[in-house]
Structure 1
Amino acid sequence: MAELSENSSGYGGMKQVFTISLALFIIFLDGSIVNIALPSIIKEYSTDLGMASWIINAYVITVAVFLVFMGKIGDMLGRAKFYNIGLVMFMLSSFFCALSTNVEMLILFRFFQGISGAIVIPTSMGLVRTAVPPEKVGSAMGVWGAVGGLAIAIGPALGGVITEVSDWRWMFYINLPVITIALFLNKRIFQHLREKTQPLHFDVWGTITLSVTLFVLIYTVTKGPDVGWMSWPIIGGFTFSILGVGVFYWIEHKISYPLVDFELFTNKLYVVGLISNLLGGILLAGMMMILPILLTEAMEFTSLQAAYFITPLSAAMLITAPVTGRLIDRFGFFVPMIIGYIISVIGFYLLTSLELNTPTLSILWRIGVIGVGIAMIAVTSLTVSTVSVQSSQSSVASGIFAMVRNVGGAIGVSLFVSVIMTSFNHFSMVSIQDSIQQIHSTSLSTYEKSKLTDALKAQQVSFFDRNYTSHLESLEISKNNLGEWKKMISDLRDQEQKNKVTAIHYAFIFGMLLSIFFSISAMFLLKKSFRL
């Protein structure tokens, strides 16, 4: 394994932390900035949403699949050297993403971006940890977590601005000067850093097994809301994933140089950090999906307006993360962790009171509260998992940590989408049944009642269709009853908008329940006085 030989001062200091965080911001940013530009990309390449979604998935899934493997290579080859290699690869793949002439080419280079991200993320965590003395690790990881959280949260807003004033390709062009500056700064801060390396030992079968298993798991989770959680393809995907984990565990105990040291999972601190990290990934990805849907589809804001509304989430995470790091340095892990869970529960509860006519300021501060809670959970779990392992294992441990977060993100989006769509479909059916009952109590003729009832029963309600009553308005109704029918259509349209908000309320309740359930893990931090 590679071991750090510190410079004469002992540590690189916060200068090293901030320099590493500069490049890390771009890596995390590319996981969310493209989302809001998908409509423009779809239009330019004349493709469909199913194909375009792989512009997102190719990056996120590749990062998750290769994180552990790249973390292991970083431990062997040397974190600083491998970190710079990852940055160069990311810069080149960003350039070719911007030059893509078709959607297939863009997806291909997003895949290479994902590999680069899988190199940078775990190695950067190791380099941040060794940049400061143990009593300041919490603050350093707070900065690391703040940068990552800010990049993920600010992505849609920045993407909206770039798409509005320029061209989506600049989302990739802006990576080039930032990475160039980071590489120049790295040369200065790493010049006294010496790393001892050992011969590389590749766990080929373990890497293949873990990669395939993770890909199938994430793909299965992302397809669950579309094809149904109880469908055979989904059941088969989960079954394959469980068997894959078993095979991977067997392989890792049979070889001399395993990809993952399972002794890591005997470390309760590390496991608690992973559990809370999983929740952090679920909640952040879920909120980044829920809020744009709430603001654009229910409250009918524009995409750019919705992007600005998410800014409080970014600001809250930016401010809270370093503060959380200081709390960890002073009080240990339990206090900031449990406070984060409590604030998350309160935040989700406050969001359940949002309505169609909620004032702007009221929306903004509620979003800010949930940002504080998620940031405290994320930074504390990151610090717990980082400081609780030996330095020689830090890159692998960091790779597992980041992999869990990415998997949590994929799971979060799918679970929250499933809750929203299931709730919305249920309430829409109830609304249609109420309208049918209302028809029978009107003065409409028997023929008109039958025709309108059949039309309502055949009504296909879509969450993302704002004109779902258009075909009802085109039905021929006698002039005497036309006003009454239009009133019913208007009421149905208004009720469907309310149904969207109610469905999203159920997603917020789901997030609140998840926070309560996961908070049980924080109790394990009480057994001893864990301090940095």
Structure 2
Amino acid sequence: MSQATLTRPGGPNTDEWRPSRRGHGHPWLTLLAVALGVMVVGLDATVVAIANPAIARDLGADFAQLQWVTNGYLLALAVSLIVAGRLADRFGRKTVFLVGVAGFAVASVAVGLSGSIEMVIFWRVVQGFAGALLQPASLAILRNTFPAEKLNMAIGIWAGTSGLAIASGPIVAGLLVENASWEWVFFLNGPVAAVAILLGLWVVRQSRDPDAAGSFDLPGVGLLSAALFSLVWALIKAQEYGFGDILPLGFFAGAAVLGTAFILRERSARHPLMPLGLFRDRSFSAGTVLAMLGFFALFGSFFFLTLYLQQVHGMSPVDAGVRLLPMTATFIVASPVAGALTARFGPRPPLVIGMLLTAVALFALSRIGVQADYLSLWPWFIVIGMGFGMVLVGSTEAIVGNAPVHLAGLAGGIQQTAAQLGGVLGTTIFGTLLATRVGDVLLDKLTGAGVPAEMAPGLAAAEDYVAQGVAPVPPGAPQPLADAITTGSHLAFMTGFQTALAVGAVIALLASFAALLVRRGENTTAGAHAGI
């Protein structure tokens, strides 16, 4: 039996005098518990894309329903992260984290047991809410557990664990779908979450904001959730209809109105959901923008590189996942390295270097052609992985490290929200640029590849498929015609691909200048009562 001693946690945001069992509050064991919880969300980020075709076949889902398997999760996650972070500050980071892990595990198993696409979508929404509970709380737990000189390394390992899950997701999911069934892609989360819960119950120390006992800002919750929902929904619809369509424009306008109302509410609330004084800190604000831009570049490029490998080069999902391992594996290594650099020099150097590396890699990849061999790709995958690892760790430290300790949960929610919005913006804007450019050049590329002039306009109407890398070859087409259609379609796709990545490179380069505004976080309770 482990001995219990009477100890006092080392800060004002942890529970006071109480018995401490062996391992309770141990920083590295706490990091392990938190990392396992975050791993289930990281796995889910990539396994669903691999499982979607099998889900559609088994449950008879159409394309719109299949989109909701992803969009329902994304919407629930995006609108809940900041609120979940504030809940963690008020009711206890350990409690909210463990509830989130348990909820995510239950929802994952329920997805696998679902007998209809409607139930899959419902439980994916539940997964989104549960994921929102555990992610900000995990960062807040680290902030309240590690001393200042160790926090950056802990964040680096935390990020590397998430990268490991994201990297292994496509391969694990491919093997499970091919050798078992798509349900096991979701069942996999159960045992990982169970270990995280048991370890978390034993080692994680409770912490909360001692000033959060007042009434909860329910009007602020409603306004912020509605604003984020409108923004994310507008981005989702912009992928389908384009940014100029009245539907996404209406939701963008609604997001602006609701966001303004939220700001006005927070300025007058006695117990604001999000103290606006946080954003007066230049480093905090710059870190939030850089987190968004880092995920913008990663998710935008990752999504279309996957299409390039699968549709243009004809790889299976598992093969494409293996080919992308240099990117994801380097990210796993880069995150702890970035944590060490941040601990020594502050977040500014990793952020500047990371954004410059991202810009160089995206520009180099924007020069590749249809027949580019893998030897010309993988070095740039490594550069992207290194750049993203630097940006993620540096921006997270800039946000969490420059927020008061008592608002660590809220800071984690803001970081995660910025990341989610950046990912949606990346796939949306890259996709819009690619699709627009494909529409501009498709007819010329088809006729230039040898498609008869009288046939090309009809094929050009399938530009939406070509923007996904698919060649619209009619059934029974003669081989020479099929080859011409494939060549022209792939050339058009690559034109859009090159344009999107070149724009991403320019944005990453500009972001490297914004990174110069960031300074080292103090990781103290200073500011807790200074109007923040």
Q: TM-score, normalised by structure 2?
A: 0.89
- Determine the C-alpha separation between the residues in 2 that align with 1:10 and 1:105: 39
Asked if 1:140 is matched to 2:164, the reply is no
1:294-326 Cα shifts (integer Å, max 9, x gaps): 111122222221122122221011000000000
Residue among 62, 67, 87 paired with 2:76: 62
Of the three residues 502, 514, 521, the one matched with 1:521 is 514
| Among candidates 488, 505, 508, match of residue 512 of structure 1 | 505
Q: Which residue of 1 aligns with 2:3?
A: none
Secondary structure in 1 aligned to 2:47?
A: coil
Cα distance in 1 between the residues matched to 2:403 and 2:119 = 40
Q: Which structure has the larger Rg over C-alpha atoms? A: 1
Offset of 1:529 from its aligned partner?
A: 6.9
After superposing the two structures, state which structure 1 stretch, 457-466 or 344-353, moved more: 457-466
Which residue in 1 is equivalent to 2:55?
A: 41
Cα separation, partners in 2 of 1:471 and 1:428, compared to 1, 3 Å:
farther
Alignment of 1:41-120 (within 5 A): 41-120=55-134
The one of 416, 429, 432 equivalent to 2:430 is 416
Q: What amino acid is aligned across from residue 241 of structure 1 in structure 2?
A: A
Counterpart-to-counterpart distance in 2, 1:211 and 1:66: 7
Confirm whether residue 288 of structure 1 aligns to residue 302 of structure 2.
Answer: yes
Aligned to 1:234: 248
| Aligned residues of 2:25 and 2:203 also touching (Cα < 8 A) | no
Deviations 1:140-181 (A, max 9, x none): 111112122333343333322221221111111111111111
Taking the TM superposition and a 5 Å limit, the aligned residue runs for 1:122-137 are 122-137=136-151
User: Could you give the per-residue CA deviations for residues 211-232 of structure 1, whole angstroms, max 9, x where no partner exists?
Assistant: 1111111111111132121111
- Tell me if 1:456 matches 2:456: yes
The residue number in structure 1 matching 2:472 is: 468
Conservation of the 8 A alpha-carbon contact between 1:328 and 1:380: yes
Is the counterpart of residue 175 in structure 1 residue 189 in structure 2?
A: yes
- What secondary structure is seen at the aligned counterpart in 1 of 2:409? helix
Q: C-alpha distance in 2, partners of 1:174/1:153?
A: 15
* TM-fit CA distance, 1:195: 5.4
* Superposition deviation, residue 374 in structure 1: 1.2
In structure 1, which of residues 361, 365, 382 is the aligned counterpart of residue 375 of structure 2?
361
- Where structure 1 has 5 or more consecutive residues not aligned to the other structure, the ranges are 440-451, 475-485
How much does 1:517 deviate?
1.9
Aligned to 1:483: none
CA offsets per residue over residues 390-441 of structure 1, 9 Å max, x none? 1111101111111111111111111111111112222212224547xx89xx
> Hey, what does 1:263 align to over in structure 2?
277
SS in structure 2 of the partner of residue 33 of structure 1 = helix
1:202-241 matches, within 5 Å, as 202-241=216-255
2:7 pairs with 1:3 = no
Residue 497 (1) aligns with residue 507 (2): no
Could you tell me the TM-score, scaled by structure 1's length? 0.89
Secondary structure of 2:14's counterpart equals strand
User: For residues 196 and 378 of structure 1, what CA distance do their matches in structure 2 show?
Assistant: 26
User: 1:69, 1:207 within 8 Å by CA — same for their partners in 2?
Assistant: yes
What corresponds to 1:399 in structure 2? 413
Counterpart of 1:160?
174
2:407 & 2:522 partners in 1: Cα distance? 20
Alignment partner of 1:229: what SS?
coil
Look up the equivalent residue of 1:4 and give its one-letter code: T
Moved more, 87-96 or 374-383: 87-96
Cα distance in 1 for partners of 2:43, 2:231 equals 24
| Residues 200 and 110 of structure 1, relative CA distance in 2, 3 Å threshold | farther
- SS class of match (1:167): coil
The one-letter code of the counterpart of 1:404 is: A
Q: Is the 8 A contact 2:93 2:206 kept in 1?
A: no
Cα distance in 1 for partners of 2:26, 2:208 equals 14
Using a 3 Å threshold, how does the CA distance of structure 1 residues 71 and 489 change in structure 2: closer, same or farther? closer
For 1:475-490, list aligned pairs within 5 A: 490=483
The count of corresponding residues between Structure 1 and Structure 2 is 504
Counterpart amino acid of residue 519 in structure 1: S
- Corresponding residue number in structure 2 for 1:448: none
Q: Kindly provide the CA deviation profile for residues 323-349 of structure 1, in whole angstroms up to 9, marking residues without a partner as x.
A: 000011111122111111111111112
Of residues 22-31 and 347-356 in structure 1, the stretch that sits farther from structure 2 once superposed is 347-356
Q: Give a deviation string over 1:448-493, Cα, whole Å, max 9, x none.
A: xxxx54332332333147552437947xxxxxxxxxxx75764453
**Does the 8 A contact of 2:402 with 2:521 survive in 1?**
no
- What's the % identity of the aligned pairs? 24
- Residues 2 and 77 of structure 1 are in contact (CA less than 8 Å); yes or no, is this contact kept in structure 2? no
Amino acid of the structure 2 residue aligned with 1:150: L
Secondary structure at the counterpart of residue 130 of structure 1: helix
Q: What secondary structure, in the 3-state scheme, does the structure 1 residue paired with 2:244 have?
A: coil
Deviation >3 Å, runs of 4+ = 5-11, 192-200, 432-435, 464-467, 471-474, 486-493, 528-532
The separation in 2 between residues aligned to 1:313 and 1:6, in whole angstroms, is 44
Q: Distance in 2 between matches of 1:174 and 1:207?
A: 33
Residues 343, 370 of structure 1: 8 Å contact kept: yes
